[in-house]
Amino acid sequence: MTGRNWLVEFRQAASTFDWAAVTGLSTDYTEHLYSLAEPPVSAPGVLLLLRQNLRYEELEAIADAALAHGVDVPAVRRQYAQALVEGRDLAVALRLYTELASDESVPHADRIEARGGIGRCYKELFVACTHAARRRDYLRRALGAYLEA
């Protein structure tokens, strides 16, 4: 195991808008996740930093590796769903958000965020859809999810 401080390295690269370095670090970090025997504590922080910097492709790859490794905490699933929405993978994101929102063991704040994510998914489906009845249904569901959040 390396002694690297991944979060510090990601912060440094992001603070100078060195997106090539962020991409390279993401590739290295994903490989690092697959090489560990135990899940790292750094994954949620790295994912949050990537989300704050709108680096959704990198976020998706790292969240996928973290979930495969067993870092299955609500924050990781929520960040993963956000990356999927940005990548237009709406059905998968909607499923993740729905599972989070309905799981009573998930912290309340994460369930609220997930409900907002459900609204976003339905809003994006409304925008993408051309069938009038389905569009109305997506808009109704989006509004319902937003109001529930």
> Going residue by residue through the chain (149 aa), what tens digit of pLDDT does each one get?
457 899 999 999 999 999 999 999 999 999 998 888 887 788 889 999 999 999 999 999 999 998 888 777 888 899 999 999 999 999 999 999 999 999 999 999 999 999 999 999 999 999 999 999 999 999 999 999 999 88
For residues 21 and 9, what is the distance between their CA atoms, to the nearest angstrom?
A: 9
For residues 76 and 83, what is the distance between their CA atoms, to the nearest angstrom?
A: 11
pLDDT at 71: 76
Looking at this protein, which amino acid is placed at residue 64? D
Could you give all domains of the chain from N- to C-terminal order, each with its CATH number?
A: 1-72 (no CATH), 74-149 (1.25.40)
Q: Using alpha carbons, list the distances in angstroms from residue 111 to 2, 23, 149.
A: 35, 30, 8
Nearest to 78 by CA among 94, 91, 65, 89: 94
Determine contact, residues 138/130, Cβ cutoff 8 Å: no
pLDDT at 8: 95
pLDDT at 1: 45
Nearest to 30 by CA among 54, 55, 139, 15: 55
